[in-house]
Amino acid sequence: MIKKIIVPDEEETAAAIEQGDELVEQVSLKVDPGQTSVRIDKFIHSFLGNNVSRTKIQNAADAGSIQVNGKPVKSSYKIRPGDDILLILPKHAENYDLVPENIPLDVVYEDDDVIVINKSPEIVVHPGLGNARGTLINAVLWHFQGLPKGKEEFRPGLVHRLDKGTSGLIVLAKTDYALTHLAKQFFDRTTKRKYVALVWGDLKEDEGTITVNIGRDTRERMQMEAYPEGDKGKHAVTHYKVIERLNYVTLVECKLETGRTHQIRVHMKYIGHTLFNDARYDGSRILKGTIYAKYKQFVANCFEIMPRQALHAATLGFVHPTTGKDMFFEAPLPKEFEMVLDKWRKYWSNPNAGMNEAEE
């Protein structure tokens, strides 16, 4: 069976790089002086055409995602000349014909409105050009085959993404209503997300905040770049805290205040602590440590155990779109992440013993 659904562009394309990690957008409208008074949902629908249904607009109003002159309004609000309208919606995406695929999923939580998944690092979240199969969306479509239908036909709704190579928690909406409500929370930065990362080097401070713009790298279109002068890119803020020091590498916790593409990876590289084995940002070579051959082999073994950037979305919190209940989830570090940490702990406590592991 083939379903046509709306999904974002491939995360490794230039379009996705521009969008950022959070698939939410805002639309600003100004009411003309000569405009007659009509319901705001009718006005927005007539302006945006078939891109947004009346139902989605009404859901947005219920979520507080339609604001007039800075204040939320109901869908029945009658517009007035000069009104400034702000509409917050899930980001528009391209159409793809998707085939459900029997790909295992680690489902952490599920109900009629949302599904929370602990994503494995090797899977891409969503399809795109040259990448229409083997994605998380394909897997989710298979997961819902044969299950009882709700009030609406199931369509996986994304409001945020995780890079390929990053493991951890991601939430998808199962209805347009839930999608719109979650989109508003991601837009308002009220979700609670923490990541765990292993980075090169020994950080000087136990905790800190990185406030540096992030934008497209002008030389490598598949990468992002830090712009400390603020003349390019978008505002980005990452808070970090040291969890464990292991001499040449450090385990840190990162909390996002914004949701830019590759934000943690770019910000940590900017302060001189590139993520361990992050090939895209030059972390897949020895950046700290000795010159001895056994140490080089030790690091190579670590890379082989965890052949991707050492980044894990460890916690996720949001308000349930229907019940209003606070939801909070935790995902333990994957086995390969823990194995690499154990190797570094052994090396840090007894370098000679750690070096001997390089020969295993």
- pLDDT value of residue 241: 98
Angle at 272 between CA 269 and CA 276, to 5 degrees: 60
Q: How many domains does the chain have?
A: 3
Task: Indicate the residue type of 29.
Answer: L
- Choose, from 41, 163, 176, 278, the residue flagged as catalytic: 163
Inter-CA distances, 122 with 48, 60, 306, Å: 37, 34, 11
Mean local confidence (pLDDT), 25-49: 86
Does residue 260 lie in a domain region? Answer: yes
Enclosing H/E stretch for 136: helix 136-143
Distance of CA 78 to the CA centre of its chain: 36
Does residue 8 lie in a domain region? Answer: no
Does residue 17 lie in a domain region? Answer: no
Does residue 353 lie in a domain region? Answer: yes
Containing domain of residue 61, as a range? 24-90
Enclosing H/E stretch for 70: none
- Do 238 and 184 lie in one domain? The reply is no
Mean local confidence (pLDDT), 233-244: 96
- Do 115 and 80 lie in one domain? The reply is no
- Do 113 and 86 lie in one domain? The reply is no
Among 36, 61, 90, residue at a domain's last position: 90
- Do 40 and 109 lie in one domain? The reply is no
Among 90, 112, 136, residue at a domain's last position: 90
- pLDDT value of residue 266: 98
The reported pTM is 0.84
CATH, residue 179: 3.30.2350.10
Lowest-confidence pick of 7-21, 245-259, 327-341? 7-21
- Do 238 and 174 lie in one domain? The reply is no
- pLDDT value of residue 71: 92
Does residue 12 lie in a domain region? Answer: no
- Do 31 and 169 lie in one domain? The reply is no
- Per-residue model confidence as pLDDT tens digits over 99-145: 889 999 999 999 999 999 999 999 988 876 566 688 898 899 888 88
339 vs 334: CA distance, rounded Å: 9
Does residue 59 lie in a domain region? Answer: yes
Angle at 315 between CA 314 and CA 316, to 5 degrees: 135
- pLDDT value of residue 15: 37
Q: Above 70 in pLDDT, residue 20?
A: no
Does residue 295 lie in a domain region? Answer: yes
- Do 152 and 228 lie in one domain? The reply is no
- Do 313 and 199 lie in one domain? The reply is yes
How many beta carbons lie within 10 A of that of residue 107, not counting itself? 12
Task: With beta carbons less than 8 A apart as the criterion, state whether 84 and 68 touch.
Answer: yes
Mean local confidence (pLDDT), 66-76: 91
Enclosing H/E stretch for 323: none
What's the length of the chain? 360
339 vs 186: CA distance, rounded Å: 33
CATH, residue 29: 3.10.290.10
Among 37, 63, 90, residue at a domain's last position: 90
Does residue 16 lie in a domain region? Answer: no
- Per-residue model confidence as pLDDT tens digits over 171-229: 999 888 899 999 999 988 899 999 999 999 999 999 999 999 999 998 888 899 999 99
- Do 273 and 351 lie in one domain? The reply is yes
- pLDDT value of residue 159: 87
- Do 183 and 199 lie in one domain? The reply is no
| Residue whose structure tokens are 């980044």 | 311
- pLDDT value of residue 298: 96
- Do 149 and 85 lie in one domain? The reply is no
- Do 84 and 111 lie in one domain? The reply is no
Q: Is 163 a catalytic residue?
A: yes
